[in-house]
Structure 1
Amino acid sequence: MDKVKVSREVAEELDKITKPAMLIHQIATSEPIECIDRFGNLTFDELIRALYIGYEVNETPVEKFNYFFDKYSQSDIMFEKDFLGGMLAVAKWFDLPVKGREE
């Protein structure tokens, strides 16, 4: 089986889960709507597969670039600042419409 593709927001919610079996039991037996709302438009089957098989963030290259731009632009670590400079150079080279290119 393949990993479930989810948005970054859903992935962040899934990352918070420390006891997947308890969550699955809660969803299956009591208040599924209240529990499942925070997982976007995942079906119950997709949620189970994401918890047990795995998941990956489904985003465009520009969305991924912007995520890392935001992450590294707030860093005080020199390597990350250097990496950010390289990312911006590549974005300029390929004329990508991404953050940091508002020249």
Structure 2
Amino acid sequence: MDFLVLLLIPALIGYSLYSYLKRKGNRRGLLILTIISLSFVTGMIIGSFIGMDLGGNYYGDFVFNGGRGYEAAGQIGAIIGGLLGAVCGLLLVLLIFRNKGNRKLK
């Protein structure tokens, strides 16, 4: 079941990018969507590894969602890492596309 959820996330991201391109949107919006979704997936992967490391070494008795130890902490790490990754991606987008002074965006 967890494997299907991990496959569903990139499939939804790919479908949203495809539908956005099909509607012939602007490239700036596509770049924003790509940066945020890639940072979300990267955050999930890094958070999962950090959670598995913590759960395996320090919190062996931790139980969450039917898993114990590194499995449970890896799930928590993936959730937190995905959220932090998406927020970092949004901040990166705001940093790249910030409005400098009174200049109008094109």
TM-score, structure 2 as length reference: 0.26
Q: Of the two structures, which has the highest relative contact order with CA contacts closer than 8 Å and spacing of 6 or more? A: 1
